[in-house]
Amino acid sequence: MSDGFPTLLLVMAAAALICRMLGFVLMRFMPASPRIEAALRATPLSVMAGITALSLAQGGLAEALALGAVVGLTLLLGSDVAAALLGVAVVAVLRWVGV
């Protein structure tokens, strides 16, 4: 990974937090429509997509295989958090094996 990854990660996390906070402020003054609720739910997903794109762009075969595992585990388990944590374990095992 490049030296700029931690900075990019912090910027994406800050953007997600600001969007989420502003969304809740907006909901105080406006009735919550399904469209607003969908936007608030999509913000964490966009941050995860940004992190994934950075990892794939600078990673190798282990990261690509772990991403595939995470997608499969998300469908199987129904929990994106558990799948992401298991994906970290998949990358660790693949690197330990030498992939």
Tell me, yes or no, whether 96 lies in a domain. no
Tell me, yes or no, whether 47 lies in a domain. no
The Cα 39–Cα 23 span in angstroms is 8
The Cα 9–Cα 4 span in angstroms is 9
Q: What is the domain range of residue 8?
A: 1-30
State how many domains the chain has.
1
**pLDDT by residue (tens digit) across 2-18?**
567 677 777 777 877 78
Predicted local distance difference test score (pLDDT) of residue 14: 81
Tell me, yes or no, whether 92 lies in a domain. no
Tell me, yes or no, whether 94 lies in a domain. no
Predicted local distance difference test score (pLDDT) of residue 97: 92
More confident residue, 91 or 22: 91
| pTM (2 d.p.) | 0.54
